[in-house]
Amino acid sequence: MAAAINMIIQASHLTKQFKSVRRKEGVLGTLATLFSHDYEFKDAVTDVSFDLEPGELVGYIGPNGAGKSTTIKMLTGILVPTSGHCTVNGIVPWQDRQANGRGIGVVFGQRTQLYWDLPLVESFRLLKAIYGVSQASYDRHLKKFSELLGLDEFMRTPVRQLSLGQRMRGDFAAAMMHEPAVVFLDEPTIGLDVVAKEAIRNFIASVNKERGTTFILTTHDLNDVEKLCARIILIDHGRKLYDGSIDAIKKRYGPNRLLTADFLTDAAGVDIRMPGVAVLERDGQRIRLEFERERVRADELIVALSRQADLKDVTIAEPELETIIRQIYERGLDRSGPAPQ
Amino acid sequence: MADAGARHWSAYREFWRLNFLTLMEYKVNFFIWLAFTIVYHGVALGAIWIMMSRFPSMNGWHWQQVFFLYALYMLGHTLNNTFFFTIGEVPDLVREGRFDRLLVRPLDPLFQVLSQPGQIWPDELVIALIVFILAQGAVHLQWSSSTVVLLVLATLGGAYIDFAIQLIIATLSFWVVRLDALRWVVMSLENDFTRYPLSIYNRAVRIMLAYVFPFAFMNYFPATVLLHKSAEVGYTFNPQLGWLTPVVGAVWFAAAYSFWRLGLNKYQGTGS
Amino acid sequence: MNLAPYAEFAKRAFSREATYRAEVFTRVGSVLLRVFLLSTLWTALYRNNGAKQGISLESMITYATLALLLDLIYGVNGAYVIRQKIREGSIAIDFMRPISVPLYVFADTVGQTGFALVQIVPALVLSFPLLGLMHAHVGGPSGGIAALGFVASVALGFLLNFLIDLIMATATFWTMEIFGIQIMVQFISSLLSGSLVPLYFFPNGLQKIAFALPFAGLYNAPLSIYIGKWQGRDIALGLGEQALWLALIWFAAMAFWRRGERRVVVQGG
| Residue A335 domain-assigned (yes or no) | no
According to DSSP, the residues that pair with A16 across neighbouring strands are A45
Average pLDDT over residues B220-240: 82
A126 closest CB neighbour out of B3, B11, B269? B11
B192 closest CB neighbour out of C37, C47, C188? C37
pLDDT of A338 strictly over 50: no
User: Pick from B93, B50, B120, B106: which is nearest to B267 by CA?
Assistant: B93
Structural domain tally of chain C? 1
Average pLDDT over residues C218-235: 92
| Span A232-268, pLDDT tens digits | 999 988 999 889 988 888 777 777 888 888 988 887 7
Whether residue A281 sits in one domain with residue A156 = no
The answer to whether A24 and A32 are in contact (CB under 8 A) is yes
pLDDT, position B36: 84
B32 closest CB neighbour out of C33, C34, C177? C177
What residue numbers bound the domain in which A11 lies?
2-249
3-state secondary structure of A39: strand
3-state secondary structure of A14: strand
C37 closest CB neighbour out of B53, B189, B196? B189
Whether residue A89 sits in one domain with residue A60 = yes
B271/A73 CB distance under 8 A: yes
pLDDT of A5 strictly over 80: no
| Span C51-110, pLDDT tens digits | 778 889 989 999 999 998 898 899 888 888 888 777 777 777 777 777 788 888 899 899
User: Pick from C152, C159, C70, C183: which is nearest to C106 by CA?
Assistant: C159
ipTM of the complex: 0.79
Question: In this structure, which amino acid lies at residue C153?
Answer: S
Whether residue A172 sits in one domain with residue A284 = no
Distance, in Å, from the CA atom of A338 to the CA atom of A251, rounded to the nearest integer, reads 10
B13 has a chain A CB within 8 A of its CB: yes
pLDDT of B217 strictly over 90: yes
C49 has a chain B CB within 8 A of its CB: yes
Residue B236: CB atoms within 10 Å: 10
Whether residue A7 sits in one domain with residue A48 = yes
The answer to whether B156 and B248 are in contact (CB under 8 A) is no
Question: In this structure, which amino acid lies at residue C189?
Answer: S
Last residue of one domain, picked from the residues A234, A249, A264:
A249
Whether residue A215 sits in one domain with residue A114 = yes
pLDDT, position C217: 93
The answer to whether A154 and A166 are in contact (CB under 8 A) is yes
Residue A340: band (very low, low, confident or very high) from pLDDT cuts 50, 70, 90? very low
Structural domain tally of chain A? 2
Question: In this structure, which amino acid lies at residue B129?
Answer: L
Mean pLDDT of all residues belonging to chain B: 87
CATH classification at residue A125: 3.40.50.300
What residue numbers bound the domain in which C55 lies?
4-267
| Residue A216 domain-assigned (yes or no) | yes
Q: Which of A60-64, A244-248, A279-283, C207-211 holds the top average pLDDT?
A: C207-211
User: Pick from C59, C60, C77, C62: which is nearest to C189 by CA?
Assistant: C77
Subunits touching A (CB < 8 Å, at least 3 pairs)? B, C
Best of B8, B104, B261 to disrupt the A interface (most A CBs within 10 Å) is B104
Whether residue A279 sits in one domain with residue A225 = no
* Chain A CB contacts of B15 below 8 Å: 126
Best of A23, A41, A94, A97 to disrupt the B interface (most B CBs within 10 Å) is A97
B177 has a chain C CB within 8 A of its CB: yes
Distance, in Å, from the CA atom of B189 to the CA atom of B216, rounded to the nearest integer, reads 11
| Span A170-229, pLDDT tens digits | 999 999 999 999 999 988 888 888 888 888 999 999 999 999 999 999 987 888 888 899
pLDDT, position C235: 92
Instruction: Report which DSSP code applies to A108.
Output: E
The percent of residues above 70 in pLDDT, for chain B, comes to 94
B106 has a chain A CB within 8 A of its CB: yes
